[in-house]
Amino acid sequence: MTSRHPVKLVCVDLGGVVVRIRHSLAETLHAAGVPGYLLEAISTDEMQAFRASTSLYQRGVHDWDAWLDAAHNALARRLDRDTLLRAHDAILMGEYPGVARSLGAIRNAGAATACLSNTNARHWDALIELPALGEIEHRHASHLLGLEKPSAEIYRAFEHATGRAGADILFLDDLEANCIAARACGWNCVRIDHQRDTAAQIIAAARAHGVPC
């Protein structure tokens, strides 16, 4: 069934929709070769401090060096900076197959394409080189806007930047909290399962919301 109100803009999250990522600190540290016993030694307070430092980094408050220092200190200096660097870079695992083609089909069908992602400057430099980003017209991210999902402010900032709002937007994200926040702003939203074919899910969601792709 298609939407009664065809959307004008399809906005995708990046991690878990366009790009495969490692979803937890444990996964990324394991990929960087950190032994399990060191992961188990990280306390709840240390993890909260690490997440707080990462939030500042994602909102562009901290640059790379400031984040690295803050993350190093948050984890009680259990991990050296080189390990944190390897773990940080291990988060990105490459583009999902077919996503660039799906986004191109949406553009060819007459809908605008956009992204809205919680990310950071170092990852952004890698992401913008991917083929799928070449099919995205409006590129927005937390570190550029100074805001993070799922705060309502980032969705409103996106609306202001793109000139689209409410039912004109279809938003695709793999995290339920971000979907709930988008719907609260009046957006159409479909949650993407990052463990399945995301390219096919993007096309199916766009078609269900009136985009003849």
Please report, in tens digits, the pLDDT of each residue of the chain (213 residues total).
444 679 999 999 999 999 999 998 889 999 998 887 888 888 999 999 999 999 999 999 999 999 999 999 999 888 889 999 999 999 999 999 999 999 999 999 999 999 999 999 999 999 999 999 999 999 999 999 999 999 999 999 999 999 999 999 999 999 999 999 999 999 999 999 999 999 999 999 999 999 999
- For domain 9-21+94-208, the CATH class is alpha beta
Other C-beta atoms within 10 Å of 33: how many? 10
Dist. CA 83–CA 71, nearest whole Å: 11
Closest CA to 93 of 34, 23, 154, 184: 23
Dist. CA 139–CA 133, nearest whole Å: 8
Q: Which residues contact 50 (CB under 8 A, 6 or more apart)?
A: 25, 42, 71, 74, 75
Which DSSP letter does residue 1 get? -
Q: Where are the domains of the chain?
A: 9-21+94-208, 25-90
Whether pTM > 0.85 for this model: the answer is yes
